[in-house]
């Protein structure tokens, strides 16, 4: 028996639409490069990648939530709250970093666990549960900041948001580390196996001894923490707490996950596909900017792309059913 | 009953893959008649009803209503012909009112599509009076008891002018008093000119209410007789299959050392005071007619259902089971009857399915030990002879037999002390069936105790060491499987044994009847 380790994600078909999406991303990059000569310069490519980081990290949690057959619509609000909290607690001082991090972490965990318990113990539909939770959290961010941006990122946070190691942005490195961790978690660990089992058939999972409530609650907690980390990255990038970004991530992350080939019914797909669609979306956005397409038109275009992928993935799942 | 019968089914034939469910069945129902339909599990009762109700199309034969051949293409066509089927699972909408349910789909109107609410309530009241139900037509169905819901169903059937009313196990969930009232109503309906086809697993009810009785066995009509020309013992003899029991699947004789002991297990509404022991190396079969509670017994032992009373002991140690997880940890495995719903994760591959129940035993710091998992799965695939292209194949693409083997492999990973099976070979081809029998026997030879709940009597007779018969939620008979008297099993299944049944029996009806 050959002992060669082939990535199981490829053998078990978990790559989703990743190869296709990455190809599209690369093609779009060359199109953009031919229109704007500087686009393909390494520095610009890395810059484009950095713009993808918040969506990429938030989509980690969204992928996990959708894999269990749920969805997490509170991610945007959690990212905003952690941004506001972090900026205010840090107040520009590195000495406050640990405190800020711990507060954000605890808040994110509480939100995630409440989401999980609402879904598993109370039996609320994940869509409704996390949407409501998101509204509450967003409201809390507004109350906490008294409706105005404030605070200041610490130097370490700014390094995280805007700094570079060599020419590679620190945020991109962080994303890469989290992405690899997620892929390993899903493919190689007991928890990963259980996430897929719960998403594929929750009753079978229960009858096989899986503590399904625990797995689902854990996933919502991880999703909140991912959103919180994205909030910290944005804090570093913006330098302040701000309320003008982020709430749309609940939908764009969902679109990215589903475009990547993770099925809404759960148990199918993985982060590789999500990664592909985050890249494709980001490059597409840059291209549309180069083409000077106005924001409203971009929205229409963006919606059509999501619709196209949803339809093709629906056709795919019907064929295999 | 002169001239043309109201309903005549002639030479009805229906084939399913691998089985002839109905073999030139003739069935007649007159207006004003209650016609009892009885038979063993799988004798073809429900297939016949589905053909009559337009749910299934027969492969051959014809249906005549008042002498005219008709094609019952759909349930709505059946309704327009005056044939109404009341299923065991009632077909009412909880959030609508009684009147709305009765007239669902044929509401009285005043023109322009406006509902005539007054007429609706008034005529709902009329129908409710006929069935003897005293509730407000405006009440929500949700608030009604099961018996009342059943009466609403009957009222609904009357409102579409049903002339043949088919009732499939209408008494299954009713208590003695309610059963008495329902049987009385059935007789009244017949007196008003309605034909009733009555199906029940309680022979005494069938004999109490029917004018005529038809016995089905293996998809064929054994006899249609007037009630007075047949007695329950004869009926049971007619229902008992005459087919040969295949060779027994034997192995090492059980040790006689008790392994699993169940004492006084009770779950109200499902089973009562169930006690039995499974020895090391023993295969125990549990049989009963559909809906007698036998399927819930392994679920309670597995921690999926929480019994109200009773104890489970494994090798003398009392188990406290609050979830399947507890049972699995104690060394109990359960192969459920619906493998797609509860046994498999269809969108996952073979490897993940097999590994699922024993992940904790092959992990280091939360990581799955892929190499030990791969070799374990290779062994099991070989041992169980699961046919697949690769362990990375999705289980949804496997045949039923191979899927069932995957479910078994999942449990054999953990070397369980006790294996519980519910319908281990349902929907599986003959070859795979034999293999699964041998696998189960081999597991017993290695010292496991096995419980098999099955509706296939042949299976139990061939494979098991001992048979327990369940009727009305109680174990009413126990016997060795080798050389077991099938008629005795049937008699016990139909509750004709002088068994200590209580609660839902209907004393007095059996002899006196209703006239």
CATH number reported for the structural domain that contains residue B294 in this entry: 3.40.50.300
Half-sphere exposure of B303 (CA within 13 A, CB side): 20
Of B414, B439, B471, the position where a domain reaches its end is B414
Q: How many whole angstroms separate alpha carbon B130 and alpha carbon B118?
A: 19
Please say if the pLDDT value at position B295 is more than 60: yes
Side-chain half-sphere CA neighbours of B251 within 13 A:
22
Look at residue A305 and tell me whether its pLDDT is greater than 90: no
Helix ranges (H only) for B81-193 are 98-102, 117-131, 146-159, 176-191
Res. A302 pLDDT band, cuts 50 70 90: confident
Residues 6 or more apart in contact with residue A139 via CB below 8 angstroms: none
| Residue pLDDT, tens place only, B348-388 | 999 999 999 999 999 999 999 999 999 999 999 999 999 98
More confident: A170 or B173: A170
Instruction: Compute CA B206 distance to the chain's CA centroid, rounded to the nearest angstrom.
Output: 18
Q: What is the pLDDT of residues B465-482, one digit of tens each?
A: 999 999 989 999 999 998
Q: B interface mutation test: which of A208, A213, A269 has the most B CBs within 10 A?
A: A208
Q: Is B361 on the interface with A (CB under 8 A)?
A: no
| DSSP reduced 3-state for A319 | helix
Tally: H helices and E strands in chain A = 14, 2
Q: Are B323 and B449 contained in the same domain?
A: yes
Which of B366, B387, B414 delimits the end of a domain?
B414
Cα angle for residues A274, A228, A171 (degrees, 5° grid): 65
Contact criterion met (CB < 8 Å) for B359 and A190? yes
- Do B407 and B425 fall within a single domain? no
Average pLDDT of span B448-474? 93
In B20-138, where does DSSP find H-type helix?
Answer: 45-52, 75-80, 98-102, 117-131
Lowest-pLDDT choice from A125-129, A169-173, B2-6, B101-105? B2-6
Cα four-point dihedral sign A230, A233, A238, A239:
positive
Query: Both B408 and B425 in a single domain?
Result: no
pLDDT of res. B118 = 87
A51 to chain B nearest CA, in Å? 33
**Residue A11 pLDDT more than 80?**
no
How far is the C-alpha of A22 from the C-alpha of A18, rounded, in Å? Answer: 6
Is residue A3 predicted with pLDDT exceeding 60?
A: no
In B274-389, which residue ranges form alpha helices assigned H by DSSP? Answer: 296-301, 324-330, 350-355, 370-383
pLDDT above 80 (res B172): no
Closest residue in chain A to residue B372, using alpha carbons only: A3
Q: Stretch B321-342: mean pLDDT, rounded?
A: 94
- For residue A109, the model assigns a pLDDT of 98
Residues of B with CB below 8 A from A194's CB? 359
Please state, in angstroms and rounded to a whole number, the distance separating the CA atoms of residues A161 and A179: 17
Per-residue confidence (pLDDT) for residue B504, from 0 to 100: 42
Confidence band (pLDDT; 50, 70, 90) for A1? very low
Q: Is the pLDDT of residue A9 over 80?
A: no
Cα separation of A169 and A159, whole Å? Answer: 9
How many Cα atoms sit within 13 Å of B27 on the Cβ side? 36
Cα distances (Å, whole numbers) of residue B281 to B299, B444, B448, B449: 21, 4, 5, 5
State mean pLDDT over A301-311.
Answer: 80
Whole-number pLDDT of residue A241:
84
pLDDT digits (tens, 9 = 90+) for B29-86: 999 999 999 988 778 888 999 999 999 999 999 999 999 999 999 988 998 899 999 8
Mean pLDDT for chain B? Answer: 89
Closest CA to A58 of A263, A281, A266, A239: A281
Structure confidence at residue B178 (pLDDT): 87
The helix or strand, by DSSP H or E, that contains position A102, with its residue range, turns out to be helix A97-117
Contact A189 B366 (CB under 8 A): yes
> How far, in Å, are B26, B329, B331 from residue B415 at the CA level?
51, 11, 8
What pLDDT is stored for residue B246 in this prediction? 78
Segment B419-434 mean pLDDT: 88
**What is the b/e burial string over B319-356, where b = at least 16 CB atoms within 10 angstroms of the residue's CB?**
bebebbbebbebbbbbbbbebbebbbbbbbbbbbbbbb
Residue B346 and residue A203: Cβ atoms within 8 Å?
no
pLDDT value, residue B251:
86
- Asked which of B414, B436, B458 is the last residue of a domain, the reply is B414
Neighbouring C-beta atoms of residue B121, cutoff 10 Å: 18
Which position has the token pair 């022991």? B277
Q: What ipTM did this prediction achieve?
A: 0.87
Q: Is residue B511 part of a domain?
A: no
DSSP-derived pairing of the beta strands B418-422 and B332-335: parallel
How many CB atoms are closer than 10 A to CB B258? Answer: 16
Give chain B's domain count: 4
Interface probe, candidates B345, B366, B390, chain A, greatest A C-beta count within 10 A: B345
Q: How confident is the model at residue A202 (pLDDT cuts 50, 70, 90)?
A: very high
Q: Give the Cα separation of B481 and B463 in Å (integer).
A: 8
A311 pLDDT tier (thresholds 50, 70, 90): confident
For residues A147-169, give the mean pLDDT.
90
Give the pLDDT of residue A150.
Answer: 82
pLDDT in tens, A137-157: 999 999 998 877 788 999 999
Note whether B272 contacts A: Cβ–Cβ < 8 A. no
| Residue B39 bridge partners (DSSP) | B216
Beta-bridge partners for B283: B450
Strand, coil or helix: B162: coil
| Of A109, A5, A17, A2, residue with least CA distance to A308 | A17
Lowest mean pLDDT among A61-75, A305-319, B169-183, B196-210: A305-319
Give the residues across from B467 on adjacent strands. Answer: B285, B479
pLDDT band at B176 (very low <50, low <70, confident <90, very high): confident
Residue A6 has pLDDT above 60, yes or no: no
Residues spanned by the domain of B282 = 255-331+416-484
Question: To the nearest whole percent, how much of chain B has pLDDT over 90?
Answer: 61
Which stretch of A73-82, A105-114, B90-99 has the lowest confidence by average pLDDT?
B90-99
Tens of pLDDT, residues A220-239: 999 999 999 999 999 999 98
Place of tokens 């393909």: A40
Cα–Cα distance for residue pair B492/B287, rounded to 1 Å:
10
Name the residue with higher pLDDT: A291 or B265: B265
Question: Chain-wide mean pLDDT for chain A?
Answer: 89
Q: Which of A129-133, B21-25, B311-315 has the lowest mean pLDDT?
A: B21-25
- Kindly report which listed range (A192-196, B17-21, B90-94, B406-410) carries the lowest average pLDDT score: B17-21
- Judge if B293 and B433 occupy the same domain: yes
Give B324's contacts (C-beta < 8 A, 6+ positions apart). A206, A207, A208, A209, B302, B303, B304, B334
Residue A294 has pLDDT above 60, yes or no: yes
* Residue A314 confidence (pLDDT): 65
Please answer whether residues B401 and B315 qualify as being in contact, where contact means their C-beta atoms are separated by less than 8 angstroms: no
More confident position, B314 or B401: B314
Tokens for B391? Answer: 């362990």
Cβ separation A200–B348 shorter than 8 A = yes
Chain centroid offset of residue A318 CA? 27
By Cβ distance, the residue of B347, B363, B410 closest to A267 is B347
Read off the pLDDT of residues A15-24 as tens digits, 9 standing for 90 and up. 778 888 888 8
Same structural domain, B143 and B128: yes
In this complex, the residue of B329, B344, B359 whose CB is nearest that of residue A204 is B344
Looking at the structure, tell me whether residues B73 and B26 fall in a common domain: yes
Average pLDDT of span A153-179: 94
Q: What is the mean pLDDT of residues B6-17?
A: 91
The per-residue pLDDT for A317 is 53
> A138-170 burial string, b = 16+ CB within 10 Å, else e?
bebbeeebeeeebbbbbeebbbbbbbeeeeebb
Q: Which residue of A has its CA nearest to B356?
A: A208
Q: Which residues contact A267 (CB under 8 A, 6 or more apart)?
A: A67, A69, A196, A197, A198, A199, A200, A201, B345, B347, B348
Q: B267: buried, middle or exposed (CB in 10 Å: 19+, 13-18, 0-12)?
A: buried
> Is residue A245 very low, low, confident or very high in pLDDT (cuts 50, 70, 90)?
confident
Helix (H) or strand (E) holding B275: strand B271-279
Chain A partners within 8 Å of B324 (Cβ): 206-209
Query: Is the pLDDT at B152 greater than 50, yes or no?
Result: yes
Closest to B485 (Cα-Cα) out of B263, B296, B240: B240
Contact A204 B392 (CB under 8 A): no
Residue A315 has a pLDDT of 61
Whether residues B230 and B171 share a domain: the answer is yes
Q: Are B1 and B78 found together in one domain? A: yes
Residue B414 has pLDDT above 70, yes or no: yes
Distance CA(A87)–CA(B95), nearest Å, equals: 52
State pLDDT tens for residues B314-326. 999 999 999 999 9
A190:B392 CB<8 A: no
CA distance B34 to A52: 74
The share of chain B scoring above pLDDT 70, in percent, equals 95
DSSP 8-state class, residue A40: G
Residue in chain A lying closest to B302 (CA): A207
Top-confidence range, A152-166, A243-257, B11-25, B35-49? A152-166
For residues B1, B6, B11, B17, the Cα torsion angle rounded to the nearest 10 degrees is -130
| Cβ–Cβ pairs < 8 A, chains A and B | 85
Pair B267, B169 in one domain: no
- What's the confidence (pLDDT) of residue A316? 55
CATH class of A14-27+45-312: mainly alpha
Residue A122 has pLDDT above 80, yes or no: yes
Chain B interface disruption, residue of A15, A200, A317, most B CBs within 10 A: A200
Mean pLDDT of B498-504: 44
């Amino acid at each position: 028996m050959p002992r060669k380790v082939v990535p199981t994600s490829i053998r078990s078909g978990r790559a989703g639409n990743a190869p296709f999406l990455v190809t599209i991303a690369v093609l779009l990059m060359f199109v953009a490069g031919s229109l704007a000569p500087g686009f393909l310069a390494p520095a610009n490519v890395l810059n484009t990648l950095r713009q993808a980081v918040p969506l990429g990290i938030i989509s980690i949690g969204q992928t996990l939530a959708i894999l269990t057959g749920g969805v997490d619509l509170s991610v945007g609000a959690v990212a905003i709250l952690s941004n506001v909290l972090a900026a205010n607690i840090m107040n520009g001082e590195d000495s406050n970093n640990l405190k800020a991090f711990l507060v954000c972490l605890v808040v994110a965990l509480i939100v995630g666990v409440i989401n999980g318990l609402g879904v598993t113990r109370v039996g609320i539909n994940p869509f409704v549960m996390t949407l409501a939770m998101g509204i509450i959290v967003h409201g809390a961010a507004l109350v906490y900041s008294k409706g105005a941006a404030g605070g200041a990122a610490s130097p370490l946070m700014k390094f995280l948001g805007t700094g570079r190691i060599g020419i590679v942005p620190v945020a991109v490195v962080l994303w890469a580390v989290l992405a690899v961790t997620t892929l390993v978690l899903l493919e190689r660990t007991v928890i990963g196996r259980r996430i897929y089992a719960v998403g594929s058939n929750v009753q079978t999972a229960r009858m096989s001894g899986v503590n399904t409530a625990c797995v689902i609650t854990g996933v919502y907690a991880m999703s909140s923490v991912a959103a919180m980390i994205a909030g910290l990255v944005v804090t570093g990038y913006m330098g302040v707490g701000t309320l003008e970004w982020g709430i749309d991530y609940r939908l764009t992350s969902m679109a990215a996950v589903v475009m990547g080939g993770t099925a809404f019914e759960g148990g199918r797909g993985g982060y590789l596909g999500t990664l592909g669609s985050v890249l494709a979306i980001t490059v597409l956005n840059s291209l549309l900017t180069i083409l000077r397409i106005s924001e409203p038109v971009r929205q229409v275009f963006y919606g059509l792309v999501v619709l196209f992928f949803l339809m093709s993935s629906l056709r795919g799942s019907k064929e295999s059913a | 009953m002169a001239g043309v019968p109201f309903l005549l089914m002639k030479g009805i034939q229906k084939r399913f893959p691998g089985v002839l469910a109905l073999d030139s069945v003739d069935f007649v129902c007159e207006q004003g008649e209650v016609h009892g339909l009885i038979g063993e599990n799988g004798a073809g009762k429900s297939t016949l009803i589905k053909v009559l109700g337009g749910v299934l199309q027969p492969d051959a034969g014809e249906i005549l209503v008042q002498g005219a051949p008709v094609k019952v293409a759909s349930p709505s066509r059946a309704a327009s012909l005056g044939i109404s089927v009341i299923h065991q699972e009632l077909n009412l909408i909880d959030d609508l009112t009684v009147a709305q349910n009765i007239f669902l789909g044929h509401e009285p109107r005043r023109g322009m599509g406006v509902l005539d609410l007054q007429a609706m309530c008034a005529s709902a009241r009329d129908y409710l009076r006929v069935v003897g139900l005293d509730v407000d037509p405006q009440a929500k169905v949700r608030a009604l008891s099961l018996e009342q819901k059943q009466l609403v169903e009957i009222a609904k059937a009357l409102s579409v002018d049903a002339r043949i009313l088919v009732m499939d196990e209408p008494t299954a969930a009713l208590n003695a008093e309610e059963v008495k009232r329902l049987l009385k109503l059935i007789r009244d309906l017949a007196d008003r000119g309605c034909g009733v086809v009555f199906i029940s697993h309680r022979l005494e009810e069938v004999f109490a209410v029917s004018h005529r009785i038809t016995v089905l066995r293996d998809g064929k009509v054994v006899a249609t007789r007037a009630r007075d020309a047949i007695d329950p013992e004869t009926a049971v003899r007619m229902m008992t299959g005459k087919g040969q029991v295949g060779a027994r699947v034997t192995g090492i004789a059980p040790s006689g050392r008790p392994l699993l002991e169940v004492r006084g297990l009770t779950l109200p509404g499902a089973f009562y005071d169930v006690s039995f022991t499974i020895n090391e190396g023993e295969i125990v079969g549990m049989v009963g007619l559909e809906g007698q509670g036998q399927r819930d017994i392994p679920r309670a032992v597995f921690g999926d259902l929480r019994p109200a009373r009773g104890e489970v002991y494994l090798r003398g140690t009392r188990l406290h089971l609050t979830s399947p997880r507890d049972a699995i940890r104690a060394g109990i495995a359960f192969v459920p009857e619906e493998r797609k719903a509860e046994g498999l994760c269809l969108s996952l591959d073979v490897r993940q399915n097999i590994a699922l129940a024993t992940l904790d035993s092959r992990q280091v710091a939360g990581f799955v030990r892929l190499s030990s998992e791969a070799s374990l799965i290779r062994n099991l695939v070989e041992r169980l002879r699961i046919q697949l292209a690769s362990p990375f194949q999705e289980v949804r693409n496997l045949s039923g037999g191979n899927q069932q083997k995957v479910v078994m492999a999942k449990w054999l990973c953990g070397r369980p002390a006790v294996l519980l099976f519910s319908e281990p070979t349902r929907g599986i081809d003959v070859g795979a069936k034999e293999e699964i029998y041998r696998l189960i026997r081999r597991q017993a030879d290695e010292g496991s105790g096995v419980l098999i709940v099955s509706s296939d009597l042949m299976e139990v007779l061939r494979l098991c060491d001992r048979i327990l018969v369940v009727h009305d939620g109680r174990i009413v008979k126990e016997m060795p499987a080798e050389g077991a008297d099938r008629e005795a099993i049937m008699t016990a299944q139909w509750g004709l044994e002088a068994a200590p049944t209580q609660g839902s029996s209907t004393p007095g009806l059996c002899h006196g009847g209703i006239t």
